[in-house]
Structure 1
Amino acid sequence: MGMQSVAVACGALTLCLALTTATNPGFVVRITQAGLDYAQQQAIASLEKKLAQLRLPDISGDSRVLRVGKVHYELSRLRLRDFHLPYSRITPISNKGLQVSISNAFAELDGDWRVKFLFIRDHGSFDLKVENIYIKILLRLGSDTSGKPTISTPDCSAHISKVRVLFSGKLGWLYNLFHSVIESRLRKILENKVCDKVAMSVYNELQTYIRTLPVTARIDNKIGIDYSLVAPPRATTKSLDADLKGEFYSLAHRSPVPFSPLPLAFPSDHERMVYFGASSYFFSTAGIAYHKAGALVFEITEAMIPKDVEFKLNTSVFSAFIPQLEEKYPNMPMKFRLSTPNAPFLTVGEGGISFQPIVDVQAYAIFPNSSLAPLFLLSLTGNVSAVINVRSGRIVGSLDVGRIRLSLKDSAVGTFQVRMMQSLINILTSNMLLPRLNARLDEGFPLPLLDRIQLSNILVRFHQNFLLLGADVRFQPRR
């Protein structure tokens, strides 16, 4: 194989790998049959109200009646009193979408009639009962260029098997002679109007509502989360799955993540209405975003130390381990600046979420004029684990730090044994750094939820490479 052929083959392989990894989501949302059933109940209740508002056109025509001759009739002021959809079912159809089947629906109407034949004119009112209405709707799910979900109705069919018209008035008996003609016309009008109303409701209401799914979620003035769809939602025989990008990013400077999400081996749990799969990629991009935004830099001064901690942050305390401090900077206040030289990489396994951050701890002496003198630079490492929960539609958590290990990276006050400082550094991290981090994590990060959705009955489970959150949902209508 020539060099050119090798280059082409390598290029094709690289492209294939890029296309393969690019489609892996960092975050997955699964709506189970139970969740679809609940969504269907809400949608059917809304559709029932919309169908009850149907406006039907006036009807007129001519019909020949035995022994009477040609009769001209007019039906006007057709009013729907109610429209009931008592039985419905939603079914995910693989590679197609969602099919909604409505059976045994019924409606009641009334209106006015006029008749003219020979030299006779008369008018009255009528009642119309429509029974055994069957409606089948296919909902196709997709996504637009911004990654927001879309929904359409490529197919809708309505069939009415029974229409009964009862005319009142002096010549009501005459209408009843050719009621089949009128019933046939009303049946076709209603069948078409029902599907028109369904299509309109999907476009104006359901489409508008599902687009409340946030493509991006702003966390604060520095960080956002990208929840855009990486592919159209896909229906399986048991659920509806949505693959989201699931990526934290810096609002000031967004750049490509240097690694791709791994495939998620989503379990076949169906106890809850909805499941969220947050991958290791999702959590690791949080570390990258906060690092790029400069949000992983913390300063500790004596004024920040809790009053119940008997500890002074000054050179006199640390001179017990570093005698040179008292000689060069006697009894001077100190400051620590903690930063991460690299973004922390988080892993998710069956034991939970963990990471091993490397933190640079730069110590300074503070002169009376507030200028700083660098003293020493420590490297701090340790095992950190996270406890995760869901509260008010947000992922919340707290960190637990294991044993901290110290090493000396640089010193302007000579060498010293850092292990002698272990207890002091433990006090700083456990009483100051950790509470600040946990306060931020307790604020949480928003889950990708549609408007007015509340979660309950929360389930938290850890799997290899992702965190699984399960919940039941409740829709809160506007008051």
Structure 2
Amino acid sequence: MWQSLLILLTTTHQALGTNAGIKALLTSKGLQYGKHIGTNLLQQKLGSLSIPDVTGQVDISPLGAVDFSLNSMRITKFNLPEPSAEFTEGQGIMAAMSGLNVQVHGNWNTHYTFIRDSGTFDVALYGMHVSLLLSPGTDDTGHLSLSSQQCVSGLNDVDVHFYGGASFIFSLFLGSIKGRIMSEVQQKLCPMVNDAVGGFDTVLQNMKVSVQINPNILVEVPLLSTPIVGDSDMELSLKGEFYSVRTHAEPPFPAGQFSLPPDSSRMLSLGVSEFCVNSAAFAYLSAGLLQVNITDNMLPKGSPLRLNTSSFGMFVPQLPKQFPDMLMLVQAFASQPPRASFLPDNVMVDMSVAAKFFAIQPDASLAPLFTLEMEASFKVHVFISEEKLKGSVALGNLTLSLTSTEVGPFQTKSLESVLKTGIQLLVLPKVNANLTAGIPLPTTPSVSLVNPVLKVNQGFMTIATDTSYSP
């Protein structure tokens, strides 16, 4: 029985750990835009494409064999039709291009016994076409992979003209040369495409799936499963979990399930779960970053409440009698990791903060006074405007309780009221001023977001956006 229970618990734990913290959804609109950008980049590079030499030997009986080479070839003219790209459910992305015409100029050389000759030539390749299935996957480390499947290529016709020297000799075996060129092109088209896909796959393999945010915190974003390809989109499920570099401890809560709503009007949708945000809070707590020492000189100069025993005498009457005219030090720290709850159109943040109060004695030693526990909730409204994350924060509930004391019991209601007023008059205005100004959304030098929209749902939030690429 115990063995069965242990196996069940282990299996359940593993299943809970497979839910994604972040999901990304690429739509058909995004695929078409990406295809358009890829075509423009290919067009820029096609003119400088290196073409391998073609060498061979042609028998012109009864004279014997003539060695020839076509070299120094470069593309002088081409048309690049827009390729097609569509999601194929359960398989990947079907990409195809047809009607590509290319004109090539180069040099020719012949060698027959002791006779050598040379000149130039023009070759026109008509109706090149290639189609393939791009299959997305993932490896053991969670990297996205991309492989080429079902590649089919061909060439409709070749036209060749030779100039200079004894170029008329090529008319004797022009058919053979045209056949050789067509054969070479048809044989190398798919390998060239596969090499290009392999090169892109190498780039994917080198991308980091663990990113250090700062010296203390990292976030892991490996793929948890093979991307799911539908008939109009492709979804990626990422771990999306933050860790303390020092402890790498797992949070005491599992990642929940969520599903990204389809939005075919946008190129890309990104979903961030409560788990992702709360794992960040737990990581900061584990790293010892959610604590601070507060002294009197850190309070605003105009604050009526000072951090000394005389001022706190209004809340703790016995304090100035036991420790007269002494400055105080507060060690404040999160007793629990802050917890965000995503609700439709709103975010609730719950915080538990403990504060240990000390008197700074004349010899600079600290005398413990009492410890307070604050439970507070904040209502956060977030949205995107002008490509910035903006919002506002309002105080919900706040309670203050005395958890231990070295100076005797006292009531905390009046101190609780002062703390609420201080947060509403001093803290929140500064926070809301920063949120009103907004935080720029992360972008790259080449890719920017276009009209992004943020929506908070039950358990997760989404950012749906179009993108713009500027090389």
Fold in common (TM above 0.5)? yes
1:95-134 to 2 correspondence within 5 Å?
95-113=90-108, 124-134=119-129
**CA separation in 1, counterparts of 2:388 and 2:247?**
25
Partner of residue 39 from structure 2, selected from 30, 44, 48: 44
Cα deviation 1:183-210 (Å, max 9, x = unaligned): 2221121123333332232333x23443
1:348 corresponds to which residue? 342
The letter of the residue matching 2:231 is T
**CA separation in 1, counterparts of 2:430 and 2:213?**
17
> What secondary structure sits across from 1:202 in the alignment?
helix
1:296 corresponds to which residue? 290
**CA separation in 2, counterparts of 1:212 and 1:435?**
44
**CA separation in 2, counterparts of 1:397 and 1:374?**
39
Task: Report the Cα offset of residue 394 of structure 1.
Answer: 9.6
**CA separation in 2, counterparts of 1:297 and 1:445?**
27
The letter of the residue matching 1:201 is A
Kept in 1: contact 2:36–2:82 (CA 8 A): no
Q: 1:199 to 1:102 in 2, by over 3 A?
A: same
Kept in 2: contact 1:362–1:378 (CA 8 A): yes
Partner of residue 166 from structure 1, selected from 157, 161, 167: 161
The letter of the residue matching 2:53 is P
2:186 corresponds to which residue? 191
> What secondary structure sits across from 1:416 in the alignment?
coil
Q: CA RMSD in A?
A: 3.6
Task: Report the Cα offset of residue 176 of structure 1.
Answer: 4.7
The count of corresponding residues between Structure 1 and Structure 2 is 468
Q: 1:118 to 1:337 in 2, by over 3 A?
A: closer
Task: Report the Cα offset of residue 303 of structure 1.
Answer: 0.7
Q: Given the alignment of the two structures, is residue 141 of structure 1 paired with residue 136 of structure 2, yes or no?
A: yes
The letter of the residue matching 2:374 is L
Percent identity, aligned pairs only?
26
Q: Given the alignment of the two structures, is residue 265 of structure 1 paired with residue 259 of structure 2, yes or no?
A: yes
Q: Given the alignment of the two structures, is residue 360 of structure 1 paired with residue 388 of structure 2, yes or no?
A: no
**CA separation in 1, counterparts of 2:123 and 2:67?**
16
TM value normalised by structure 1: 0.85
Partner of residue 58 from structure 1, selected from 31, 34, 54: 54
**CA separation in 2, counterparts of 1:27 and 1:352?**
19
1:371-386 to 2 correspondence within 5 Å?
371-386=365-380
**CA separation in 2, counterparts of 1:209 and 1:397?**
37
Q: 1:26 to 1:391 in 2, by over 3 A?
A: farther
Return 73-82 or 281-290, whichever deviates more.
73-82
Task: Report the Cα offset of residue 312 of structure 1.
Answer: 1.9
Kept in 1: contact 2:387–2:451 (CA 8 A): no
Partner of residue 420 from structure 2, selected from 418, 426, 432: 426
Kept in 1: contact 2:154–2:186 (CA 8 A): yes
**CA separation in 1, counterparts of 2:438 and 2:222?**
23
Return 411-420 or 70-79, whichever deviates more.
70-79
> What secondary structure sits across from 2:188 in the alignment?
helix
**CA separation in 1, counterparts of 2:391 and 2:365?**
37
**CA separation in 1, counterparts of 2:218 and 2:431?**
18
Return 25-34 or 382-391, whichever deviates more.
382-391
**CA separation in 2, counterparts of 1:234 and 1:340?**
40
Task: Report the Cα offset of residue 99 of structure 1.
Answer: 2.3
Partner of residue 410 from structure 2, selected from 400, 408, 416: 416
Q: 1:402 to 1:101 in 2, by over 3 A?
A: same
TM value normalised by structure 2: 0.86
Structure 2 stretches lacking a partner, 5+ long: none
Task: Report the Cα offset of residue 109 of structure 1.
Answer: 0.9
The letter of the residue matching 1:128 is V
> What secondary structure sits across from 2:255 in the alignment?
coil
Q: 1:450 to 1:210 in 2, by over 3 A?
A: farther
1:254 corresponds to which residue? 248
1:323 corresponds to which residue? 317
1:221 corresponds to which residue? 215
Kept in 2: contact 1:215–1:227 (CA 8 A): yes
> What secondary structure sits across from 1:30 in the alignment?
strand
> What secondary structure sits across from 1:353 in the alignment?
strand
Q: 1:433 to 1:118 in 2, by over 3 A?
A: closer
Q: 1:119 to 1:383 in 2, by over 3 A?
A: closer
1:17 corresponds to which residue? 12
Task: Report the Cα offset of residue 257 of structure 1.
Answer: 2.9
Kept in 2: contact 1:57–1:76 (CA 8 A): yes
Q: 1:99 to 1:451 in 2, by over 3 A?
A: farther
Task: Report the Cα offset of residue 276 of structure 1.
Answer: 1.2
Kept in 2: contact 1:209–1:451 (CA 8 A): no
Q: Given the alignment of the two structures, is residue 312 of structure 1 paired with residue 306 of structure 2, yes or no?
A: yes
2:326 corresponds to which residue? 332
**CA separation in 1, counterparts of 2:268 and 2:371?**
48
**CA separation in 2, counterparts of 1:189 and 1:49?**
24
Q: 1:458 to 1:388 in 2, by over 3 A?
A: same
Kept in 1: contact 2:244–2:283 (CA 8 A): yes
Q: 1:319 to 1:14 in 2, by over 3 A?
A: closer
Task: Report the Cα offset of residue 279 of structure 1.
Answer: 0.6
**CA separation in 2, counterparts of 1:126 and 1:286?**
65
Structure 1 stretches lacking a partner, 5+ long: none
